[in-house]
Structure 1
Amino acid sequence: MARPVVSGLDPSQGPVSGGNLVVITGSGFSTVGRVAFGAASAPFIINSDTQITAAAPPATGPATVNVTVSGPLGTSTDQAPYTYVAVPPQPVVTLIAPDAGPELGGNTVTIRGVGLSQTTAVHFGTTPAQSFAVVSDNEVTATAPAGTGTVQVTVTTPAGTSRTEPFTLYSYLGIPTVVSVQPTQGSSLGGESVLIVGSSFTHAADVLFGSALAVFTVVSDTQIVARTPGGTGTVAVTVLNVLGEGSSTATFTYV
């Protein structure tokens, strides 16, 4: 019998937090009683006379240490360097601007947060962004893909994926479409309640009778109740989203 010999480590580096498994290869391992990363002992199991699996102990910071194994006949003297590396923090997203855009995508979205400099992917829900660019450790710009509904925007780096939060939501806006109004006519003085029926009303920003703005309440994605402004003649009733998009086939006549 001879003192143990270490010939290789796999992997040969890991996080300063430790805990990752390292396979040590060599010989004379059957009677090994201690594995050390530098001066720190590591828990281990002997797989065979030529292989040990050890859990790297934590380190106080980035450093390279020698891995040794010890048995009744002594401690290995081979150079078996293991490098502790600093792992960047998991990315954190704190702001999405704008937080809404067209269903067709293609618009630029600014993502702000911390730990974004090594961004490898940006997702809108499960769909990757059309493209993205790292501006700084605190900012990434992304081109939104096509989509529907409300989704979470996440950023992925080598350290992981950002958490989902209420303020990381992004809404795809359909074009509001008005198909009918009830009643279809009213006083030229305005002030009357009108039920507007259509679709994609959830994110309504404005209701227009002709070019005049109306006070309104969104009842559901398909209904709005508006109070007519004053006016004359027959005008189109239009609902606009925050992007200024809207279409209408309904009219209201002032009498």
Structure 2
Amino acid sequence: MPISPNQGSTGGGTSVVITGVGLAGTSAVHFGTKPATIVGTPTPTQVNVVSPSGTGMVDVTVTTPGGTSNPLSFYYVGAPFACSLSPDSGGTGGGNTVTINGTGLATATAVQFGTTSATPTVVNDGQLTVVVPTGVAAGSVGVTVTTVGGTADDLSYTYVDQPTILALSPLSGPTSGGTEVTITGTNFATTQSVTFGGTPASFVVISGTSISAVTPPGADGAVDVTVTTTGGSATSAGAFTYTAGPGI
């Protein structure tokens, strides 16, 4: 006589289906010593119930005019606790993988970012990973982990708009580097790196629309300039030109 699911929240309230034979006259279903709520009218092969509260593993029995069934095992699962999420921000396009740490995560079935749900990968009872879904807009959203034992909603995730590069000044400098370049654009507040032709440059974020960077040494010619932020990357192709000094 199967039972599905065979686990649920310690607070009760789990919808459970018990299948077997001779169940039409079911008068009671017990989870351990506690009666469950029978939903609808039992059929000869199925009875639907809502589990009562409980802890640990309990025997589930079905009582009919013909007697009491053999016991089935049902496992009560405690509510989860999520204590950290890393990284806790990313681009509005989603797609990056975050790690959630806590307890009671082994039965996680969904992770909600605001109103959008994602399917997690359970690493163990204390950790899971999940690919962040696309965000509705930039800003902070609540993160909720749903498990058999209940939900944990103590975390938040911040969506960040992708940066854009609008202009550079000056547009050229010596191959030896050292040119101070002002980069203007949008969504620069969380800038993590600036590169000229793939080579990292030192930089200072002036504001959400301005960065001051110092060019590293580079080869003669035009190179791409890339700004990488929490929200993603923006590249301006051939935006800066290295100029070799005179030789005699």
Which of 217, 230, 241 in structure 2 is aligned with 1:230? 217
For structure 2, list consecutive stretches of 5 or more residues without a partner in the other structure: 1-8, 12-30, 36-51, 56-75, 244-248
Aligned identity (percent) is 41
Write the distance in 1 (CA, Å) between the matches of 2:236 and 2:162: 10
* Aligned residue number for residue 204 of structure 1: 191
Whichever of the two has the greater Rg, that structure is: 1
Deviation at 1:162, TM superposition (A): 1.9
Write the distance in 2 (CA, Å) between the matches of 1:242 and 1:15: 39
RMSD: 3.6
| Residue 113 of structure 2 is aligned to residue 124 of structure 1 | yes
- Contact 1:181–1:250, Cα closer than 8 Å, also in 2: no
- Contact 2:162–2:232, Cα closer than 8 Å, also in 1: no
* Aligned residue number for residue 217 of structure 1: 204
* Aligned residue number for residue 22 of structure 1: none
Return closer, same or farther for 1:136/1:180 CA change in 2, 3 Å cut-off: same
Write the distance in 2 (CA, Å) between the matches of 1:137 and 1:190: 51
Return closer, same or farther for 1:106/1:206 CA change in 2, 3 Å cut-off: closer
* Aligned residue number for residue 171 of structure 2: 184
**TM-score in terms of structure 2 length:** 0.57
- Contact 2:90–2:232, Cα closer than 8 Å, also in 1: no
* Aligned residue number for residue 155 of structure 1: 145
Write the distance in 1 (CA, Å) between the matches of 2:207 and 2:189: 6
Deviation at 1:173, TM superposition (A): 4.9
Return closer, same or farther for 1:65/1:109 CA change in 2, 3 Å cut-off: closer
* Aligned residue number for residue 110 of structure 1: 99
Write the distance in 2 (CA, Å) between the matches of 1:203 and 1:223: 12
Amino acid at match of 1:238: T
- Contact 1:197–1:223, Cα closer than 8 Å, also in 2: yes
**TM-score in terms of structure 1 length:** 0.56
Return closer, same or farther for 1:157/1:178 CA change in 2, 3 Å cut-off: same
- Contact 1:177–1:238, Cα closer than 8 Å, also in 2: no
* Aligned residue number for residue 239 of structure 1: 227
Return closer, same or farther for 1:84/1:113 CA change in 2, 3 Å cut-off: closer
Amino acid at match of 2:182: L
